[in-house]
Amino acid sequence: MGDMNTKDFLIGTLIGGIVGATTALFLAPKSGKELRSDISDQAHLAKEKTAQLTNDVYEKGNEWVDIAKEKSTTLAKNVSDQSQQVVDKVKDLSATAKKRSGRSSKRSTESCKRIKRRCARCW
């Protein structure tokens, strides 16, 4: 939305400048030849200013594109690094949990066998 307002402002400024310069030329007391020469000069000046403005806007746009690319690349790398760290932690926790559950399962099995032997002696 802000880009559109800036664009509209620049267009309005350019048109306002042209209208103002043309009005000043017509209201100034000069001969037809001088007036045509002044109009031609002002038109040439407006063309140069427009070309310069276009060039400036194009360069600024390219700068913003470069900044956006750089920031998005940095952000993508950070996200990737952090994601890898999370994956590594989950793998470590999963391996630890498997080891612990395996030990618990083995202990439970051994306990059941002992109880079964004791019960077998009793009966």
The whole-angstrom separation of Cα 108 and Cα 116 is 12
Confidence (pLDDT) at 20: 83
Q: What is the mean pLDDT of residues 57-63?
A: 89
**pLDDT tens string 84-95:** 998 888 888 888
Which is more confidently placed, 30 or 56?
Answer: 56
Domain boundaries, the chain: 2-97
98-105, long-range: CB < 8 A, 24+ apart: none
**For the whole model, what pTM was predicted?**
0.44
DSSP assignment of 38-70: HHHHHHHHHHHHHHHHHHHHHHHHHHHHHHHHH
